[in-house]
Amino acid sequence: MAQSESSSPKKEVILRGVGASPGVAVGPALLMAVDEKCFVEREISADEVAGEIARFEEALIKTRRQLHEIQERVSSAIGQSSASIFDAHLLVVDDRSFVEEVIRGLEEEHRNVEAVLYGVAERYARALSQVDDDYLRERAADVRDVARRIVRNLAGVSPGGLDAVEKPCVVIAHDLAPSDTATMSKDKVVGLATDLGSRTSHTAIMARALEIPAVVGLHDVSVRVTQSDQVLLDGSKGILIINPTPERLAQYNRTVEKQRSIRMELARLKEEPAATLDGRRVVLSANIELPSDVDAVLEVGAEGAGLFRTEFLYLTRDSWPDEDTQADVYEEVARRLAPAPVIIRTLDLGGDKFLSHMKVPAEENPFMGWRAIRFCLAQPDIFMTQLRAILRASRRRNVKLMYPMVSTLDEVVRANAFLEQAKNELREKGIEFNEDLEVGIMIEVPSAALIADVLAEHVAFFSLGTNDLVQYTLAVDRVNERVAYLYEPTHPAILKLINNTIRAGHDHGVWVGICGEMAGNPLMVPLLVGLGIDELSVSPSMVPMVKRVIRSLQFEQAEKLKEEALKADSGLAVAERCRELLADIAPELLEFVA
């Protein structure tokens, strides 16, 4: 880790945000443009028109090449049908009327190409969005996306998705959408820093899954950093340092070596069980989002997949995936992880995860709107296709099924009725499936936690989704850095809801797991063990740390912590007590805790 040479070293600047994914990263900053209007509009002379046309044509060539490369990578990773989503983008780049209108605008308006391109793209997009044809209306988004990519190429900044990163760097952005991180490679993206976000935002979750250090919630990092800056990022402490001094780099070199040594020791626990010193066993599994994540699960010795998010099958294509496509993916994951269990969560679209081809009206509060199980119950054809696919994969005998965002008993009853219908359809066709498939629900809404005793009569297991449970209980947007201080997993209300869910489940013979970020926080693990949790499902990268905590703990210590926590009137007091216990049993892990 060496500071880039400079004739006059720039001043070191320290920014503080939210530590989202542990680890240290050093490298040149790669600034991701925020949107297509990230340029200064200016007038040009007649003599400059030819040069602007040449810039435009060069950017078109670069954009076309990038789109073809993305298609090839997506096709190799998840199939040609998914890669075809970029066909419409290529049609825009190759549309001669579009290109010629931009050139004509340059010649007539005498403004720089970015300004002309933006104006032409907006006219096209507005016209398309108003026609009485679903397909053509959807192309408006394609025009805007392509214009954004062209303008970014004109500006010389990364053109949107992280697939275009060519050299190791620390990516700096205002925010990153799921599509931005879909093809992210940790060989090239060594760190992430964003203005927005929290520990439970999509960016944070993906960074931890890929073991990429990340700091989010930095407010204005995207305008404080320039492309020429060297940056140092500490994802454990939530710090980003612009143009670090040689002394600072030397200090962090020592930190990196220390953390590497700790991780090597943790890796030795791969074959050991997740059990307390006095024999209390906890199932330790992993959350996965892509079939390729199975490699990481096997590498760290996790006990299967406690949460298999299925949205990627839908978000990476421009049409609904069919039953065969889904069944093949689910069964392959189950085959590779057998005999360990794989809990497949049914589609959790909604909130910020709707598709361009979905005819969904805008909602004022989408995170509490038409999403997850609500969406599936209202779209029986889509839901039934997924249920049949999961049932077909269940012939492997290690597959379990889970419904997200349940808030009422009626939702569970109706979902189970659809499941029975799917079973009947497969029976009629003579297709094999597991008749004893275990069905569970996610407890991530306060109403579900409060009626857990009622819900337990209809399911085999609960999985606490603590990210949303905290958000909905405390009325705090978990991706809004302005209210991040209110996002408190140790709040007395949260602990009482978790405790109620576990007790209700156990009273009815239902096992209870946690698949939210709370499960992967070394500070929280002793408390969760004390509360009586049966399973913890975490990002694969966090499995060794969580196992280390469990194997260093006496169950008596965990129970004592639970009793203290349930009597506390302050979430901060509980968090401090958790930190004290971790310092006693596994002090080296404090290196990775913000």
pLDDT, tens digit, 9 for 90 and up, residues 301-315 = 999 999 999 988 887
Q: What is the pLDDT of residue 59?
A: 87
Q: Residues 89, 174, 202, 491: which is the catalytic one?
A: 202
Q: What is the pLDDT of residue 22?
A: 86
Q: What is the pLDDT of residue 591?
A: 84
Is residue 220's pLDDT more than 90?
no
Is residue 441's pLDDT more than 80?
yes
Q: What is the pLDDT of residue 162?
A: 67
Task: Kindly list the structural domains of the chain, giving each domain's residue range(s) and its CATH number in brackets, ordered by start.
Answer: 13-32+161-262 (3.50.30.10), 46-155 (1.10.274.10), 268-359+367-592 (3.20.20.60)
Q: Is 239 helix (H, G, I), strand (E, B) or coil?
A: strand
Query: Between 375 and 69, whose confidence is greater?
Result: 375
Is residue 331's pLDDT more than 90?
yes
Nearest-angstrom CA–CA distance, 252 and 26: 9
Q: What backbone phi and psi angles, to 5 degrees, belong to 175?
A: -160, 165
Q: What is the pLDDT of residue 83?
A: 54
Verify whether residue 68 is a known catalytic residue.
no
Q: What is the pLDDT of residue 328?
A: 96
Q: Residues 169, 376, 515, 578: which is the catalytic one?
A: 515
Q: What is the pLDDT of residue 191?
A: 93
Is residue 77's pLDDT more than 60?
no
Is residue 357's pLDDT more than 60?
no
Q: What is the pLDDT of residue 150?
A: 85
- DSSP β-bridge partners for residue 461: 440, 511
Nearest-angstrom CA–CA distance, 302 and 263: 16
Is residue 471's pLDDT more than 50?
yes
Tell me the per-residue pLDDT of 517-574, one tens digit each, with 9 for 90 and over. 899 999 999 999 999 999 999 999 899 999 999 999 999 999 999 999 999 999 999 9
Verify whether residue 202 is a known catalytic residue.
yes
| 358 alpha-carbon distance from chain centroid | 21
Tell me the per-residue pLDDT of 18-42, one tens digit each, with 9 for 90 and over. 888 888 999 999 887 655 455 667 7
Give the confidence band of 387 by pLDDT, cuts at 50, 70, 90. very high
Q: What is the pLDDT of residue 436?
A: 96
The residues near 240 (Cβ < 8 Å, ≥ 6 apart) are 14, 15, 17, 193, 215, 218, 221, 231, 232, 233, 234
Nearest-angstrom CA–CA distance, 296 and 298: 5
Q: What is the pLDDT of residue 167?
A: 85
The residues near 97 (Cβ < 8 Å, ≥ 6 apart) are none
Residue (of 450, 459, 518) closest to 489 by Cα position = 518
Lowest mean pLDDT among 125-139, 188-202, 300-314: 125-139
Q: What backbone phi and psi angles, to 5 degrees, belong to 27?
A: 170, 180
Hey, which bits of 180-320 come out as E strands?
Answer: 189-194, 214-216, 230-234, 239-242, 283-288, 305-308
